[in-house]
Protein backbone atom coordinates (compact mmCIF):
# COMPACT_ATOMS: atom_id res chain seq x y z
CA UNK A 1 0.00 0.00 0.00
CA UNK A 2 1.09 3.56 -0.60
CA UNK A 3 1.95 6.00 2.18
CA UNK A 4 -1.36 7.87 1.86
CA UNK A 5 -3.37 4.72 2.47
CA UNK A 6 -1.19 3.73 5.44
CA UNK A 7 -1.68 7.22 6.88
CA UNK A 8 -5.44 6.98 6.39
CA UNK A 9 -5.70 3.50 7.92
CA UNK A 10 -3.61 4.34 10.97
CA UNK A 11 -4.53 7.98 11.55
CA UNK A 12 -0.84 8.90 11.44
CA UNK A 13 0.42 11.67 9.18
CA UNK A 14 2.54 10.91 6.14
CA UNK A 15 5.23 13.10 7.68
CA UNK A 16 5.29 10.91 10.80
CA UNK A 17 5.47 7.77 8.68
CA UNK A 18 8.50 9.18 6.85
CA UNK A 19 10.07 10.00 10.21
CA UNK A 20 9.46 6.43 11.42
CA UNK A 21 11.24 5.19 8.33
CA UNK A 22 14.18 7.57 8.91
CA UNK A 23 14.46 6.26 12.47
CA UNK A 24 14.46 2.63 11.33
CA UNK A 25 11.08 1.91 12.93
CA UNK A 26 9.26 1.21 9.68
CA UNK A 27 10.38 -0.10 6.30
CA UNK A 28 8.93 0.07 2.85
CA UNK A 29 9.84 -1.32 -0.52
CA UNK A 30 10.11 1.14 -3.38
CA UNK A 31 8.17 0.92 -6.61
CA UNK A 32 10.03 1.41 -9.90
CA UNK A 33 8.74 4.99 -9.77
CA UNK A 34 10.29 5.51 -6.32
CA UNK A 35 7.05 5.46 -4.30
CA UNK A 36 6.93 3.75 -0.93
CA UNK A 37 5.07 0.43 -0.92
CA UNK A 38 4.15 -0.87 2.55
CA UNK A 39 3.05 -4.39 3.41
CA UNK A 40 -0.21 -5.08 5.24
CA UNK A 41 1.82 -5.67 8.41
CA UNK A 42 2.84 -2.00 8.40
CA UNK A 43 -0.58 -1.09 9.81
CA UNK A 44 0.04 -3.13 12.97
CA UNK A 45 3.61 -1.87 13.16
CA UNK A 46 2.49 1.78 13.06
CA UNK A 47 -0.18 1.17 15.71
CA UNK A 48 2.44 -0.47 17.93
CA UNK A 49 4.85 2.45 17.39
CA UNK A 50 2.11 4.89 18.37
CA UNK A 51 1.37 2.91 21.54
CA UNK A 52 5.04 2.94 22.51
CA UNK A 53 5.30 6.69 21.90
CA UNK A 54 2.16 7.18 23.99
CA UNK A 55 3.84 5.20 26.77
CA UNK A 56 6.61 7.80 26.79
CA UNK A 57 9.34 5.91 24.94
CA UNK A 58 11.67 7.74 22.57
CA UNK A 59 12.35 6.56 19.02
CA UNK A 60 15.74 5.04 19.89
CA UNK A 61 14.19 2.87 22.64
CA UNK A 62 11.35 1.93 20.31
CA UNK A 63 13.88 0.90 17.66
CA UNK A 64 15.56 -1.37 20.22
CA UNK A 65 12.28 -2.76 21.49
CA UNK A 66 10.37 -3.47 18.27
CA UNK A 67 12.47 -6.48 17.24
CA UNK A 68 11.80 -8.03 20.67
CA UNK A 69 8.02 -7.80 20.39
CA UNK A 70 5.76 -10.42 18.90
CA UNK A 71 4.50 -9.66 15.44
CA UNK A 72 0.81 -9.65 14.55
CA UNK A 73 1.13 -13.28 13.46
CA UNK A 74 2.31 -14.19 16.98
CA UNK A 75 5.72 -15.22 15.76
CA UNK A 76 8.63 -14.72 18.13
CA UNK A 77 11.06 -11.93 17.59
CA UNK A 78 14.58 -11.30 18.84
CA UNK A 79 15.27 -11.43 22.56
CA UNK A 80 15.77 -8.20 24.47
CA UNK A 81 19.17 -7.68 26.06
CA UNK A 82 19.50 -7.15 29.81
CA UNK A 83 20.19 -3.40 29.46
CA UNK A 84 17.02 -2.86 27.45
CA UNK A 85 14.98 -4.78 30.02
CA UNK A 86 16.47 -2.64 32.80
CA UNK A 87 15.64 0.54 30.86
CA UNK A 88 12.09 -0.65 30.22
CA UNK A 89 11.56 -1.50 33.89
CA UNK A 90 12.70 2.02 34.78
CA UNK A 91 10.31 3.44 32.18
CA UNK A 92 7.42 1.41 33.61
CA UNK A 93 8.27 2.69 37.11
CA UNK A 94 8.24 6.27 35.76
CA UNK A 95 4.81 5.70 34.23
CA UNK A 96 3.54 4.23 37.51
CA UNK A 97 4.75 7.35 39.34
CA UNK A 98 3.02 9.56 36.79
CA UNK A 99 -0.22 7.61 37.24
CA UNK A 100 0.02 8.08 41.01
CA UNK A 101 0.66 11.81 40.57
CA UNK A 102 -2.32 12.11 38.23
CA UNK A 103 -4.57 10.24 40.65
CA UNK A 104 -3.55 12.59 43.48
CA UNK A 105 -4.14 15.62 41.25
CA UNK A 106 -7.56 14.29 40.29
CA UNK A 107 -8.50 13.74 43.94
CA UNK A 108 -7.42 17.30 44.81
CA UNK A 109 -9.39 18.67 41.89
CA UNK A 110 -12.44 16.70 43.08
CA UNK A 111 -12.11 18.25 46.54
CA UNK A 112 -11.92 21.75 45.04
CA UNK A 113 -14.96 21.07 42.86
CA UNK A 114 -16.94 19.78 45.84
CA UNK A 115 -15.97 22.79 47.96
CA UNK A 116 -16.85 25.20 45.15
CA UNK A 117 -20.19 23.48 44.58
CA UNK A 118 -20.99 23.69 48.31
CA UNK A 119 -20.00 27.37 48.44
CA UNK A 120 -22.16 28.26 45.45
CA UNK A 121 -25.22 26.29 46.58
CA UNK A 122 -28.19 28.56 47.36
CA UNK A 123 -28.53 29.33 51.07
CA UNK A 124 -31.98 29.52 52.62
CA UNK A 125 -33.09 32.95 53.74
CA UNK A 126 -33.12 33.48 57.55
CA UNK A 127 -36.95 33.45 57.64
CA UNK A 128 -36.99 30.10 55.78
CA UNK A 129 -34.73 28.33 58.32
CA UNK A 130 -37.51 27.91 60.78
| Number of domains observed in the structure of the chain | 2
pLDDT at residue 129 tops 70: no
Same-domain status, 92 and 74:
no
Spatial separation of the C-alpha atoms in residues 45 and 63, rounded to whole Å: 12
* Percentage, residues of the chain above pLDDT 70: 87
Residue 97 lies in domain:
81-120
In a domain, 128, yes or no: no
Burial class (CB in 10 A: 0-12, 13-18, 19+), 63: middle
Spatial separation of the C-alpha atoms in residues 48 and 16, rounded to whole Å: 14
Same-domain status, 74 and 85:
no
pTM (2 d.p.): 0.64
Same-domain status, 9 and 41:
yes
Same-domain status, 116 and 91:
yes
Q: What is the pLDDT of residues 4-53, one digit of tens each?
A: 999 999 999 999 999 999 998 999 999 999 999 999 989 999 999 999 99
Highest mean pLDDT among 22-36, 59-73, 77-91, 114-128: 22-36
- The whole-number pLDDT of residue 3 equals 95
Amino acid sequence: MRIGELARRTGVSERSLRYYEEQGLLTAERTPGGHRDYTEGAVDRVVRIQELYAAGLCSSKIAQLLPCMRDADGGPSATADARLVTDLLAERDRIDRMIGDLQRSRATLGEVIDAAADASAPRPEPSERG
